[in-house]
Amino acid sequence: MLEATGRKGPDVVIDSVGSASTLRQAVDLVRPGGTVLAYGIAPASVDGFNAYSFYFKELTLVGSRAMTPDTIDLAIRAVDSGSVNIAPIVTNHYPLEELQAALGLARRPEGQTLRVVVRV
C-alpha cells in the first residue's frame, strides 16, 4: 500500500472488518492528515491501539452507527431489487452445501477476500 502512494499512505483508509488488528493497520497506513473510516463493528476495547497516532498524524476518525434488524432487512431488499450493486466487493460465491469452506475463507486474515456470498 505504501509503495503505491509514494510511501505517503492513502488519504482515506476504510476498516470494514472492525477487528483490533485491522483498526491498528488502518491507522498505521493512512497518511498524516488522513481519515480512517471505522465502519466495521469493533470490539468495545481495542488492545494495542495507539491513540497517540491520532494526535501525531493529525488524523480524522469517522465511525458509523451499528446496523439494526430493520437496516439489515432494508439492505437485503436493496440488493435484491438491484438498486445496490454488491458485485464489486463480492470476491467469492459458495453454495449452501459448502458453507464450512465459505466460513473458513471469510475468517482468514490474509488474502484478497472482501465478501463471501453463500447461495441458499
| Domain extent listing, the chain | 3-63, 69-119
pLDDT > 70 in the chain, percent: 92
CA gap 34, 54 in Å, rounded: 10
At 111 the pLDDT is: 67
Residue 64 · residue 38 · CB < 8 Å: yes
Residue 1 confidence (pLDDT)? 63
Provide the mean pLDDT of the chain: 85
Average pLDDT over residues 93-119: 85
Separation between Cα atoms, residue 65 and residue 109, nearest integer Å: 24
Fold of the domain built from segment(s) 3-63: Rossmann fold (3.40.50)
Whether 40 contacts 17, CB under 8 Å: yes
Question: Which tens digits make up the pLDDT trace of 19-61?
Answer: 888 888 899 999 999 999 988 776 677 777 778 888 899 999 9
- Greater pLDDT, 107 or 83: 83
Using the predicted structure, report yes or no on whether residue 16 has a pLDDT greater than 70: yes
